[in-house]
Structure 1
Amino acid sequence: MASKAILPLLAILFFMGCSSDNGTGIPNNDQNGGNGGDGPNIGTGVVTRSFSACEGGMADVYPCQEYDLLFQMDLGAFAAAKGNDIWGWTDTTTGNEYALVGLDNGTAFVDITDSENPLYLGKLLTATVASSWRDLKVYGDFVFIVSEASNHGMQVFDLKRLRDVTEPPVEFTADARYTGIGNAHNVVINETMGFAYPVGTARNDAFNGGVHFIDIQNPLNPNGVGGYGANGYTHDAQVVTYNGPDMDYAGREIFIGANESQIALVDITDKSNPVEIGTLTYPNIGYTHQGWFTEDQRYFILGDELDEVDFGFDSRTLVFDFSDLDNPVLHTTYLGPTGAIDHNGYVMSDEFFLANYTAGMRVLDITSIASGTITEKAFFDTYPSNNTAGFNGVWSVYPFFESGKILINDINSGLFVVQKSN
């Protein structure tokens, strides 16, 4: 979701459609989804819909192709009004898989290991007030959570505590809280280096709303060591220890920022002296939103959040050739089958999992990306009302579980867990 610079436009569209079930079994995308706000209610975790195979293009009431619904927990299950970001955690000791569900008023934790009997363990409430924007990432056994809520800082929660919940759901408290930032739109983590990178902070802070460098190698004692803001406000980013085709940067820590009207590439290996590699634009910029490397780090797949609104495109995904980081070029452009806005997207193997707002989750085959060919191979549409260019439906997805389960967080309808059909 885009930054405060375009909040007036987003507010009009975003708040038009919070959904719930209207009693007919069909999602009502014009109603509020839960009990939201700043109250202490953590919800009950009741499963809204259980397993439904994708047959004849439908799983229960949801259009689909090649993905079955394992279960859904709507926003009422978490006593929330809106969903936002989502991430996952696999307990390496037990093998259990957990959904970490971003909400307007906190973060919910669901054990999805047994998808026939998912277990809502509890909720960590927001550090200050509710906000439609919350983001979270995992380092080791800890999750780090930021929000656009005023003075929220960065919450730290020890996920190992989820092993020992005896009477769920419970209200959790944070294990630590970093207050070197106030609000932040997003947080990025490079697990290889043990650093967290909040972005989209206050535009008048020391780094102009760019990126803060926080050492989290001791997760309970985050330590700010600098930042970078020469390219202005960063909305989202990916940070990698580079292992791609450009040998000039082998082993360097590279920051790729989605900076509203451009992509910024920065070598941040030396936290005391970050070095700009370059910036990159492209035709018909609406709002440079978020991107992700292919696994060989040759191509960077970018979503622009407002080009569908501003220019009338069908869902547009841009692919850049980053084989020479000093001279990146636009490689190809993919247009989806609907006019829905693209949001967050992640690469897993040779597939790109796209949170496509009102068009749900779309799965793109990127096997032939080198030749400029991208095709849609599957989808699961959690917002069946329409596929228009509005800010409803899927905010984000998490495709990285070894089990193949995919997490979807829908702004209006909460948590969906889906899996490829047999």
Structure 2
Amino acid sequence: MGKPLNFRTYSFITICLLGSIGLLQGQKNFNLELVSNFDYAQLVADVWGYVGPDGTEYAIVGTFTGTSFISLKDPSNPEEVLFIPGAQSIWRDMHNWGDYVYAVADRGEDGLLIVDMSNAPDSMPFKFWRPQIELSAEINMLNRCHNLWIDEKGYGYLSGCNLNRGGVLIIDLHSDPWNPTFLSAAADYYSHDNYTRDDIMFSADIVDGFFSIHDVSDRTNPILLNTQTTTSQFTHACWLSDDGRYLFTTDERPNSFVDAYDVTDPLDIKYISSFRPKTTEGLGVIPHNVHYYNGFLVVSWYTDGIVVIDAHRPENMVKVGQYDTWPGAHGGFNGAWGAYPYLPSGLVLGSDRQSGLYVFEPNYVRASYLEGRVTSSVDGQSIPGVEVEILVEVPTNTATNPSGNYKTGSASEGIQEVVFSHPQYHDLSVEVELIRGVITELNVELTPNNLFFLEGTILEESTQSPIQEAIIEFDRTSNPETIERGLTDLSGNFKLLLQPDTLNISFGKWGYSREHLLNFEFLENSFLNIELNKGYSDDFHMDLSWEVSSTTSAGQWQRAIPAGSISEGQIVHPDADVPDDFGKKAFVTGQPIDGNPFSDFPESGSTILLSPVINRSDFDFSPVLSFSYWLFNETNHSDNYFKVYLEGDNGEVLLLEFNETTQGWTRVENLSLFDAMERIGSRIRLRFEVKNSSNNLVVGGLDNLIIEDNFLSTTEHLASSYVWNFYPNPANDHITIVLSNDFLLEKPFVEIFDSGGKRAFKGQIGSRSETFNIGHLPSGIYLINLLTKSGQRVESKQFIIKK
């Protein structure tokens, strides 16, 4: 058991001084009045609140070197009454169950700090609980955790510990708060934080980019119910609304949001909306921890300080308060770390990494809501992308969605001016009366500038069937850097209202070809008939909705014009996409800035690029894959790789693995997908993964992808009636060739050539299904030829041998 250290008092910064910080930062502090600030000579992490038996309120602050207990008996003059040294850690979180406070650190071997506050401040005994826990037949000590939660029944939930791969550990505190008991471990997703109430646990699984929901009614046997990916796929924290209907989450990435989800039915999670402050939008600010209090969210938003959001209507969240604790530049991990709005006095606590504890007097005001629809005065069509700005001191602008609808609001009330603007329409200014807590509906019409209609129909060429949700993507000679888009309706029709200009237009959809109309002089109303062929290909000129996920914030796949870089005389990034496809874009990782190959590469981790769904029924025979790629592997370490998978409902197949630096673009031709598609079921997708496991420079790229049936013309080879295939691919020791009955009559020969063109094997096929031993051949890319008994080549296919 530990003993309290001597009382210490740090100087606190006056209201006048901290009030000037907002001026330095250029942001308005409002509806959070500073009461006091307690600074530390070290970095600070999270903050929690506690009320002693005598009614004294306390702030409990995690610091770099330990846990600090601050008496708020006089909130304007906070006083430290206990400091418990611990492992040095920038992550430290606290919670309480009754009169016991618990704390964890994500470094060192503190285990779980337990502090008995029942006689505070006179006596505050503490100890570190480091139990031996058995999991999967192994016994290990609990050394560290990233976070913790304690539910209303006195059960603790430890996130991000050194056990269970960081998945939540459940402990019993209510039976004996001084001597906890380990109960069980939840699913081994790494949990960054969690919130548990009414026997349901919500875990923020940051590495996987989702939150997971668990039934913990039996704490000895937690059951995973569902997962939900958040908007920036880096789920950091979550908090449940008082009625249990909504879950609010944060993603700890630049320019990310607070998300709102309807979790009434854990098996049917519904995304509602997202919020981020307009004052610093696009400046790289990062949300950290979110807390729900009586319909409001109190969020620590790093360099934006403490932000208060009216979340009574999760579909239209509005900022109604802020105090910016950080006077420096926007973006990064400086500033406000934690918040705590639950003290009986109503005071709000905040922790700033650099400047310590803040105590605020909040003024919770309801937002004045403004919602409506914007249409064209010409034809009544909805107008997407209209900027809607309420001209108040704190910016509250938003934009209309594809249906022309908008939702916004303000912390202000009364008569306000609202401006609607769109580059293709005349601005419109309207005065409207806003009332706090009330939805004011305002529908407006905008008058176009000099506009014409670009209309058309997109059909499948062979059947003349309409193609719905086909993409129309174009840029203008007057503004070539801005890409605009439209979609066809259920009948394959599109109608765009545009200013006259010279347009470069592309038409396409995943599963179809693309057509390009360059230097189209759009000077009047025009109608276009476009026909697309069935087929899978992508030169990445258009955005066909590939998905990107990553275990690291740097070096992710991105669709971009490749920027070249060189390191020690070697090409790291090619300076262009492949020369024989349309457009200039490719998917690349680690895109360099100003030629610096190290400007955006992850020191470790992987980034994954996932194609849209491929329908097996679109192929009549044997689909083959071709694509161009490049890889730079600084050390050619075998744990660093570029892998290609085919995945489906029934599993996945590794198609290719590359480890060697390519020195620019390299082409893979006619890789058979036949065997893989037969094994993995439906909802087939391609997955490209670049992984860096050695902390060296590892980057790659992808372009000019084609999936097609392996039909051969009679002008190139023999008659197409000679049908054959082979499996597996990749192969190991054996390969099996399957022939049609007509082809078997030819008694054909098989030849295998290595990548250097040297024949490595020859044999004759005597049965419809013949297996050959190729165990003597090393790993590599090979070409398999079939020849008639007279020696005429029928067809060649590429395959992989992987040992």
Please give the TM-score of this superposition, normalised by the length of structure 2. Answer: 0.41
Provide the residue aligned with 1:235 in structure 2: 192
Q: 1:147 to 1:56 in 2, by over 3 A?
A: closer
In structure 1, the residue matched to 2:240 is: 293
Question: Whole-Å Cα distance in 2 between the matches of residues 395 and 57 of structure 1?
Answer: 17
Name the structure 2 match of 1:6: none
Deviations 1:143-184 (A, max 9, x none): 11111122220010011242316xxxxxx7624524341111
TM-score of the aligned structures, taking structure 1 as reference length: 0.76
Structure 1, unmatched stretches of 5+, are 1-39, 166-171, 242-252
Check if 1:271 corresponds to 2:222: no
Counterpart in the other structure of 1:248: none
In the TM superposition, residue 63 of structure 1 has moved relative to its aligned partner by 5.2
Q: Cα distance, 1:102 vs. partner?
A: 0.7
Contact 1:51–1:116 under 8 Å retained in 2: no
Displacement after TM superposition at 1:52 (Å): 4.4
Deviation (angstroms), 1:55: 7.6
Match of 2:493 in 1: none
Decide whether the 8 Å contact of 1:359 with 1:386 is kept in 2.
no
Q: Which one of the candidate residues 120, 135, 158 is aligned to 1:198?
A: 158
Amino acid at match of 1:125: P
Cα separation, 1, equivalents of 2:149 and 2:19: 37
Counterparts of 1:318 and 1:255, CA distance in 2: 18
CA distance in structure 2 between the partners assigned to 1:412 and 1:173 by the alignment: 29
Q: Give the structure 2 partner of residue 305 of structure 1.
A: 252
Amino acid at match of 1:345: V
Identity %: 27
1:357 maps onto 2:302 in alignment: yes
Residue in structure 2 matched with residue 409 of structure 1 by the alignment? 351
2:134 paired with 1:177: no
Does the C-alpha gap of structure 1 residues 350 and 376 become closer, same or farther in structure 2, counting only changes over 3 Å? same
Give the AA of the match of 2:160. G
Relative distance call for 1:42 and 1:84 in structure 2 (3 A) is farther
Please, which of 35, 38, 48 is the counterpart of residue 12 of structure 2?
A: 48
C-alpha separation in 1, matches of 2:24 and 2:16: 6
Paired with 2:6 and 2:335, the residues of 1 have a C-alpha distance of 22
Deviations 1:362-404 (CA, angstroms, capped at 9, x unpaired): 00011222xx11100110111021222x000011000001211
Residues 178 and 222, structure 1, Cα contact 8 Å, conserved in 2: no
Indicate the residue corresponding to 2:272 in structure 1. 331
1:104 aligns with 2:64: yes
Shift of 1:226: 1.1
Distance 1:59 1:219 in 2: 46
Match of 1:120 among 80, 83, 95: 80
1:384 corresponds to which letter in structure 2?
P
CA deviation profile, 1:340-364 (whole Å, cap 9, x unmatched): 1000010110110000001100000
Partner residue of 1:150 out of 108, 118, 140: 108
The corresponding residue for 2:576 is none
| Offset from partner CA, 1:99-122 (integer Å, 9 cap, x none) | 001111111111112123322212
1:116 match: secondary structure = coil
Q: Name the counterpart of 2:228.
A: 280
> 2:24, 2:80 → 1: CA distance?
22
What is the aligned counterpart of 2:324 among 381, 392, 412?
381
**RMSD (Å), alpha carbons:** 2.5
1:208 counterpart SS class: helix
* SS in structure 1 of the partner of residue 118 of structure 2: helix
How far apart are residue 275 of structure 1 and its match? 1.4
In structure 2, the partner of 1:254 is 200
**1:407 partner letter:** L
- Structure 2 segments unaligned to the other structure (5+ residues): 133-141, 365-803
* Alignment partner, residue 31 of structure 1: none
* Cα distance change, pair 132–283 in 1 and its aligned pair in 2 (3 A): closer
Q: Deviation digits for residues 308-337 of structure 1, max 9, x if unmatched?
A: 2xxxx3x41111111211110111111222
Q: Structure 1's 43 and 104: CA in aligned 2 closer, same or farther, altered over 3 A?
A: farther
Q: Provide the residue aligned with 1:159 in structure 2.
A: 117
- How far did 1:227 drift? 1.1
CA distance in 1, matches of 2:231, 2:35: 40
Give the Cα separation in 2 of the matches to 1:373 and 1:208: 37
Rg larger in 1 or in 2? Answer: 2
Aligned counterparts of 1:57 and 1:211: Cα–Cα separation in 2: 39
Which of these residues, 65, 76, 79, is aligned with residue 30 of structure 2? 65
**Residue type at the aligned position of 1:342:** P
- Over residues 22-69 of structure 1, what are the superposed CA-to-partner deviations in whole Å (9 max), with x where a residue is unaligned? xxxxxxxxxxxxxxxxxx998832232134499899599995112221
Residues of 1 paired with 2:5 and 2:23: CA distance? Answer: 31
CA distance in 2, matches of 1:303, 1:345: 7
1:229-268 CA-to-partner distances (Å, cap 9, x unmatched) read 24x1111110111xxxxxxxxxxx1111111211111101
Q: Please give the alpha-carbon distance, in whole angstroms, between the structure 2 residues aligned to 1:355 and 1:100.
A: 16
